[in-house]
Structure 1
Amino acid sequence: MFTNTTTTLSARAMGRSLFTAASLIALAWAPQASAQEQAATNGDTIVGADIVVTALKRSSSIQETPISISAVTGETMANSGVQDIADLAASAPGLSFVDGGPSQRRVVIRGIQGSGEPMIGTYYDETPVTGMIGAGNDAGGSTPELKLFDVERVEVLRGPQGTLYGAGSMGGTLRIIYNKPDLTGLGSAVDASLSNTRYGGWNYDASAMLNVPLATDKVGVRVVGFYKRQDGYIDNTALGIDDINVLKSYGGRLMLRMQPSDRWTFDVTTFLNRTRTDTPLWTQEAGKFNSDAYTRQPIVDDTELYSIASTYEFDFATFVASGSYMHRELSSASDVSRFMQAQRSEGRCAALVGGGSPCSDSQLTDYYDLVDWQSYSVLYPQQEMDAWTGELRLSSNTTGILDWTIGGFWSDRNIAVWNPQVNTNRVSGEIMRPLQVVTGRHIDDSLTQLAGYGEVTLHPFEGAQLTGGARYFHYDKDIVGYTDVPSILVGARITPPTAVDSTENGWVFRFNGSYEFTPDVMLYAEASQGYRPGGANQVLGLDAALTGYNSDSLWNYEVGLKTSWFNRAVLFNIDAYWIDWSDMQVTQRTPNGAFSYLGNAGKATVKGVEAEVNAMLLDGLSLQGNVTYTDATLAEDQNTGATATSGLKGDRIPYVPKWMGGASAQYDWSLTDSLGGMARVDFNYVGGSWSDFRRNYTFAREVEDYALVNARLGVEGPGQSWGAYLYVTNLLDATAITRASSSAIARGRTLVSSATPRTIGVNVRQKF
């Protein structure tokens, strides 16, 4: 139901003050984690070739956790060169990214992909994060990316996690878990790299960690800092500027852990992340790694995340209280010059000024002056977000016939968007200062969510588990938008503030059963549900009838087998799933093809098989591999009213390849009594896909398949206390296009992003 309301945004200063107050309140009363969970978050994670995870809000061996889950340790990520979440794509079956470059990435699991609110829950420790809505309400397309240094592990949960993780986890959940302060002793580490990229230049990257116990066994601090500069490799041929996409990223985190007693642990963490770059998009028709944009297209992303988590271990259960505050400012720019210049014709003057009749000489002169004034310009959205979350959870920690978890969740996200079109310098391509605003739209978006959830696991007899879970949710999304600077060229009219309220509540469920035939063989089956909120469009010139869109939801049915062989030297897991997706939110386009918006259209079916293997058959040799087959198609014709973009039954979901796979091999050996050698190769394959449902649509583009190979060779000191490595990424120098798109704004040109060309470098590490 949609009703008129008004919306206001939290001020940044107020947000920080409230966060400080919340921290003091939580310290006073909120207790956090079981002894098992404490072990799991302090590095004691390896059990033979197995890993301990906390995906089900309690610690368990990954092979004994009856869901589709993969985990990657911090050591594996360091050896693979993983620095941000997009680098994780080869690490787990079913995981992929619609990669538009830094600050413009969408996480995808099991082919559940599309614009709108996130479909994959992304967590940094206990904190869920979300992207910015922009003018197209696409919060899932700009997932916050914090540096993956000093990480304990990453968990990839495949399939809906609606009961424990809620909205935003309808396709799965990605959890990044950082190393926590060590209360027992000093520690430090540094990691530095120097490299050179083909078609570009020199890159350098440095990260450091310092761990200091302030009171032995009671208080400790862990500080992490990093700086990265990556040279550009894309040349702008229109402006005559080489290497436009230089990337600078810097920041850090400060973690304070207090442990007043053996039962009580309290963590306070601050994350800071700054990113500066120009768009990594290049124009396929202009040649490899060439952009023909008439403007510079800067991206500035400033993210701050403050979190608190308190755990208290009772005799019968573990109580967890957590909260967070995130402030993010994101600005980007996209060239619209060609679209504006194409308006300079007598026909367009007749359509826009003359009411269908030819313009007079004076009308034509004035019209041409108007077009010429804004013929070099960019869309320049400025976004600011304040987001709060809070969660209370109680989980049993006694062994018996029942395990249980109950909890409550609250979040409040406020985003302010100013989306102007501004003029640029015709020679340098830079945005003119002070801004020359051609047109502009203001949007205030507020999303509040409340939920209560619970799961109960019954152990009816040895080796068997039956789990049932439910989550009751309520969300309220308030959107206020207005246009204060009109433009006849894009159909923008001055509009007063108008408000739309989208509210919904309901239930999602999860049912799971498993049986261990032996300690090395487990079969499980699951039916689980996921959802995400609806909302309202705020696109320039969009018909009012297209403003609202509803929530979408899905049911996932799967069966899986987890096995271990040769005394756990080999782990092999496989699962198959069927997903029914209803009222799916899809991207649609305005009649002029210039702007996209969201609508509900049709149903989809996603079927697939995932398999992964980890093996240590020879001393020093570890092998890993995964493969995914996904058949993600529409189950019925879409009813969008726009035949050019409407998908038909059997059309594949955009950006979802049928085949994906990853593999790695690492060999460690002794060089001397105190020195060791290591060699590692990583391989990632991503199959082809399309940018739209309809392949014959004017702006549909094919994304071809690609394969990437990385390699590393190094020498390490005793206990890996230090290491020196030679590495190469994209060894075969593949032009791996990760995203391709076109539109009327692009005048039919194909804009693509791709993997970084071959990069060769040296890396040194030292632990103290």
Structure 2
Amino acid sequence: MIAVSAMPVQAQDAPADEADGGGEIVVTATRKSETLSKVPVSVQAFTQNELVKQGLRNVEDLARMTPGVSLRRGGLGVSNVSIRGISSGAGASTIGVYIDDTPIQVRSLGVASSIMYPALFDLERVEVLRGPQGTLFGAGSEGGTIRFIQPEPSVTEWSGLARGDLSTTTNGKESYEAAFAIGGPLVTDKIGIRASAYFRHEGGFIDKMVGTPVVRNTTGALGVQSLSFTNTSLYKADVNSSDTFAARLALTFKPSETITITPSINYQSFFTPDAAPNVWPTMSNFETADYATPRWNPTVDATHLPLDVDSGEPQRDKFIMPALKIEADLGFADLVSTTSYFKRDTSQTLDYTNIYAVSYAGRQTPNVGDVAISTVSNRQRNWTQEVRLQSVSDGPLTWVAGGFYSRNEQQAIQNSQTNFLPFLNPLFGIRNDGAPFGPGYSAFINFYGVPQLNGTSSYLSDFKAIDTQIAGFADATYELLEGLKVTAGVRVSKNKIEYTAFYDGPANNLNAPRGLACVPGTGVGTVPCTAVAVGQYEPGTGPFTPRYLNSSASGSDTAVTPKFGISYQATRDTMVYATVSKGFRPSGAQIALPGNCNPELVQLGYVNAQGQASSPQTYGSDSVWSYEAGAKTRMFGGALQLNGSVFHIKWSNIQSTVSVQTCLQSLTANLGSATSQGFDLQAVLKPVRELTLMANVGYTDATFDDDTIINGRTLYTGGSVLPSSGSPWTVTLSGDFRYPIADKTYYVRADYTYRSKEGRTGNTDPGSINYDPNQPVNKAYTIVNGRAGIELGDLDLSLYVNNIFNVAPMINLGHTRNQPVFTTLVTRPRSVGLTAAISF
């Protein structure tokens, strides 16, 4: 068998345990089992065998190998996946993520909500479906769907696999992995079991340094050289290590020939003692891929409070997912019921020192001893029930119909603490001993009206969102003539969102005096407020009693997402198809922003009839219409495979993030429309039996249709690219040479991936109000991986080198406007390792 990189739906031959009788990989992208080359959908499928051969370990690797898919990591450790340019950090998810039949994606809530992807082990396959999949996979699949499909227990034969891995990283620590899975009949033809366990330790490669920052240019005009450090010393090496553990247990019961019952439970945990999401280029050496980030050590003195600070930025994330699948053969159709519960808890500490130093203290960099941290916890509780009926006939009509219910509860709690904020003088222009409280009171009290919570907390929030969805769907394909099929499908869903918010802390005090010698919220005509004598009231009393915006909001909508398609199997090896489909993202609710956001809200035009600031508490749904045409063909007896598709997507009423920078907040609003168009193309050539060559090319042009203007401010210009849409050009080239000698097979393979320079948008676009001339766009970069090994029967031993040339791109290099601090995300430096894998 020739092992090559993962390919779209018309992928290469698969081993027997991954294929149907015709030798092709079988997928369920249409909820029916079909061979890859016969599915009229743009899908990329990765089998377990391919994951091992290519050394794919996480969703970033999947995105790197899939044209049209981009993964953008944020500075808070949040990953945002874009498929065909459709991506948004606001509102509900634009992609669906499934473990078997359970959706696990999240709504954007708080500052660090992100999807936890399952480990890539003991999977039957991973399917990446490009384009809207709302008809069969619901409201969260506006841009596409990623499906992690696990093997079901067998009641007839035993099988298993094991994998071990050990590697070292340039300028970093060692990584190691151990994993095992086994399954088979406990009672032949009646009871089967499948169990797996996975552990991976990822060695760190980012150092924490202490030093004295020196500003060389206050606006950032010198780029990463606008700031330097002196008196540097190592605080801790290779801090960003991580541990991932995953386990699964599944049982299959067949009480009769027609009924199969499969209960299962999945568990996964992730821990890093220091996420260190951002690298500071001024402390790093990108020629050698030696990365560092600063450690701000707290002090206790006359201008700094005692503050309990972790040694790093720890992050803990775990989920448990019990599920029950029941299948019944009704003769004319299969009845499938899936019930699941997804429980996830995340906690994270974020370093906010530089944010508070810049935004509150007005400093270029933190002073010695300054520290600010924000602790964030997120919880996710998803109940899901789906029942579907699927035809089993080989006749001209095939169909699937079903119902879906889900109740997804999310909660995000954030607590921000500082050790220096109460000592700032002035604070936003307000000074100690001034109005309204007079001598003896700090600028902090005179501005906010209340002290920090528990002495150190300036901001506390607790948000909760409950999404409820009830839907019915149907999809049917009819063969009009031999080889000519038409498809029609529709999903109707009722979506409801309930949102509650709790606020506390001085930064959220709506009754904050802000240094005025008058009563907040009073006044007549042109007189802004009623004057009082300085020192007449104590903080937190009388007219200065604190008030917090604890609120609730709700919204609902009904969505209809149709799909139409036509396909023609012109020959045994050639198929052409075209589809028109709609994708949908439900409306949402949000909390009203705190009072210190009001001045900028007025500037943005978010006001009521009286001209007062009015933060919107709901936003509407958005949707896409996708038009796609594709072809899949094999020539020269299968020696050459050509497969591709072109697409045109219209995105309307986009749920977008509007930053309210003066108060470090944001809101979600429906802003403008966009068009995404492009193609994905694959060629697989097998010139000789031993050699397989592959080229994957994707192009996505995702841009705003017109200027996006709020109250005279142009946030995005027409023609600028969609934020987070990624590189327009993505290229993957792979070669795999395998040579059998006696009972051994030797092989060598290489993978080359290219990401082009990104387009301008927002703060990189001269036409935007947020334009920053010192903000660069992401540059093009390439990554080359190589692997050589030997197969000894069921045992596969290989040596690999990832990032062979130690490429060190600056990804999402950015800074705060008119500030000298630049931070960036990075790829892992060169890693050399050994893998041993066995399957039976």
Over 3 Å counting, the alpha-carbon distance change for 1:41 and 1:506 in structure 2 is farther
TM-score, normalised on structure 1?
A: 0.85
Give me the whole-angstrom Cα distance separating, in 1, the residues matched to 2:454 and 2:795: 51
**Counterpart code for 2:389:** L
Matched, 1:750 2:822: yes
> 1:338 Cα deviation (Å)?
2.5
Alignment match, 1:354:
none
Alignment match, 2:69:
95
> 1:552 Cα deviation (Å)?
0.9
Give me the whole-angstrom Cα distance separating, in 1, the residues matched to 2:134 and 2:464: 27
Give me the whole-angstrom Cα distance separating, in 2, the residues matched to 1:507 and 1:344: 47
Over 3 Å counting, the alpha-carbon distance change for 1:485 and 1:160 in structure 2 is same
Q: What RMSD over aligned residues (CA atoms) do the two structures have, in Å?
A: 2.9
SS of equivalent to 1:546: coil
Over 3 Å counting, the alpha-carbon distance change for 1:306 and 1:692 in structure 2 is farther
Counterpart among 581, 585, 604 of residue 674 in structure 2: 604
> 1:325 Cα deviation (Å)?
0.6
SS of equivalent to 2:141: coil
Alignment match, 2:723:
654
Do the aligned residues in 1 keep the contact of 2:509 with 2:548 (CA within 8 Å)?
A: no
Give me the whole-angstrom Cα distance separating, in 1, the residues matched to 2:82 and 2:181: 31
> 1:425 Cα deviation (Å)?
12
SS of equivalent to 1:338: helix
Over 3 Å counting, the alpha-carbon distance change for 1:166 and 1:284 in structure 2 is same
Give me the whole-angstrom Cα distance separating, in 2, the residues matched to 1:161 and 1:381: 32
> 1:217 Cα deviation (Å)?
1.8
Alignment match, 1:334:
350
Do the aligned residues in 1 keep the contact of 2:332 with 2:392 (CA within 8 Å)?
A: yes
Over 3 Å counting, the alpha-carbon distance change for 1:446 and 1:742 in structure 2 is farther
Over 3 Å counting, the alpha-carbon distance change for 1:332 and 1:691 in structure 2 is farther
Give me the whole-angstrom Cα distance separating, in 1, the residues matched to 2:488 and 2:557: 23
Matched, 1:290 2:292: yes
Over 3 Å counting, the alpha-carbon distance change for 1:594 and 1:203 in structure 2 is same
Give me the whole-angstrom Cα distance separating, in 2, the residues matched to 1:95 and 1:201: 30
Gaps (5+ residues) in structure 1?
A: 1-39, 349-370, 427-432
Deviations 1:412-469, CA, capped at 9 Å, x for gaps: 111122111034799xxxxxx9995332011111111111111122211111111111
Over 3 Å counting, the alpha-carbon distance change for 1:462 and 1:248 in structure 2 is same
Matches within 5 A, 1:561-580: 561-580=631-650
Alignment match, 2:789:
714
Matches within 5 A, 1:187-586: 187-238=159-210, 240-277=235-272, 278-279=274-275, 280-287=277-284, 288=286, 289-294=291-296, 296-342=312-358, 375-423=370-418, 436-487=456-507, 494-538=547-591, 542=597, 544-586=614-656
Matched, 1:736 2:731: no
> 1:733 Cα deviation (Å)?
0.8
TM-score, normalised on structure 2?
A: 0.78
Give me the whole-angstrom Cα distance separating, in 1, the residues matched to 2:54 and 2:256: 38
**Counterpart code for 2:261:** F
Gaps (5+ residues) in structure 2?
A: 1-13, 211-233, 298-311, 422-452, 513-545, 599-613
Do the aligned residues in 1 keep the contact of 2:359 with 2:662 (CA within 8 Å)?
A: no
Matches within 5 A, 1:600-639: 600-639=670-709
Matches within 5 A, 1:114-129: 114-116=88-90, 117-129=92-104
SS of equivalent to 1:422: strand
Over 3 Å counting, the alpha-carbon distance change for 1:252 and 1:642 in structure 2 is farther
Give me the whole-angstrom Cα distance separating, in 2, the residues matched to 1:548 and 1:132: 14
Over 3 Å counting, the alpha-carbon distance change for 1:758 and 1:50 in structure 2 is same
Give me the whole-angstrom Cα distance separating, in 2, the residues matched to 1:693 and 1:526: 33
SS of equivalent to 1:639: strand
Give me the whole-angstrom Cα distance separating, in 2, the residues matched to 1:668 and 1:373: 59
Give me the whole-angstrom Cα distance separating, in 2, the residues matched to 1:438 and 1:690: 38
Over 3 Å counting, the alpha-carbon distance change for 1:341 and 1:102 in structure 2 is closer
Once the two structures are overlaid, the 10-residue window that deviates more, 126-135 or 376-385, is 126-135
Give me the whole-angstrom Cα distance separating, in 1, the residues matched to 2:317 and 2:34: 37
Give me the whole-angstrom Cα distance separating, in 2, the residues matched to 1:314 and 1:636: 53
Deviations 1:518-558, CA, capped at 9 Å, x for gaps: 12221111111001122133455555423322111010011
Give me the whole-angstrom Cα distance separating, in 2, the residues matched to 1:469 and 1:231: 47
SS of equivalent to 1:75: helix
SS of equivalent to 1:757: coil
**Counterpart code for 2:804:** L
SS of equivalent to 2:821: coil
> 1:157 Cα deviation (Å)?
1.2
Give me the whole-angstrom Cα distance separating, in 2, the residues matched to 1:333 and 1:691: 32
Give me the whole-angstrom Cα distance separating, in 2, the residues matched to 1:339 and 1:164: 43
Matched, 1:761 2:814: no
Give me the whole-angstrom Cα distance separating, in 2, the residues matched to 1:675 and 1:177: 31
Matched, 1:725 2:795: no
Do the aligned residues in 2 keep the contact of 1:651 with 1:694 (CA within 8 Å)?
A: no
SS of equivalent to 1:736: coil
Counterpart among 762, 765, 772 of residue 693 in structure 1: 762
Matches within 5 A, 1:80-91: 80-91=54-65
Do the aligned residues in 2 keep the contact of 1:691 with 1:700 (CA within 8 Å)?
A: no
Give me the whole-angstrom Cα distance separating, in 1, the residues matched to 2:691 and 2:262: 37
Deviations 1:374-405, CA, capped at 9 Å, x for gaps: 94111221111111111111111112232221
Deviations 1:26-54, CA, capped at 9 Å, x for gaps: xxxxxxxxxxxxxx999442566632111
Do the aligned residues in 1 keep the contact of 2:16 with 2:23 (CA within 8 Å)?
A: no
Q: Count residues with an aligned counterpart.
A: 692
> 1:682 Cα deviation (Å)?
1.4
Over 3 Å counting, the alpha-carbon distance change for 1:91 and 1:737 in structure 2 is same
Over 3 Å counting, the alpha-carbon distance change for 1:436 and 1:409 in structure 2 is same
Over 3 Å counting, the alpha-carbon distance change for 1:732 and 1:155 in structure 2 is same
Give me the whole-angstrom Cα distance separating, in 1, the residues matched to 2:739 and 2:510: 64
Do the aligned residues in 2 keep the contact of 1:450 with 1:475 (CA within 8 Å)?
A: yes
Do the aligned residues in 2 keep the contact of 1:654 with 1:689 (CA within 8 Å)?
A: no
Give me the whole-angstrom Cα distance separating, in 2, the residues matched to 1:156 and 1:102: 25
Structure showing greater radius of gyration is 2
Over 3 Å counting, the alpha-carbon distance change for 1:322 and 1:391 in structure 2 is same
Matches within 5 A, 1:85-164: 85-100=59-74, 104-116=78-90, 117-131=92-106, 133-136=108-111, 142-164=114-136
SS of equivalent to 2:637: coil
Do the aligned residues in 1 keep the contact of 2:656 with 2:668 (CA within 8 Å)?
A: yes
Deviations 1:730-766, CA, capped at 9 Å, x for gaps: 111111344444447x956333222110000111123
Do the aligned residues in 1 keep the contact of 2:93 with 2:108 (CA within 8 Å)?
A: no
Matched, 1:681 2:678: no
Give me the whole-angstrom Cα distance separating, in 1, the residues matched to 2:161 and 2:646: 42
**Counterpart code for 2:39:** T
Do the aligned residues in 2 keep the contact of 1:512 with 1:526 (CA within 8 Å)?
A: yes
> 1:344 Cα deviation (Å)?
6.7
Give me the whole-angstrom Cα distance separating, in 1, the residues matched to 2:278 and 2:798: 31
> 1:609 Cα deviation (Å)?
1.1
**Counterpart code for 2:354:** R
**Counterpart code for 2:163:** D
Instruction: Give the fraction of aligned pairs with identical amino acids, expressed as a percent.
Output: 28
SS of equivalent to 1:267: strand
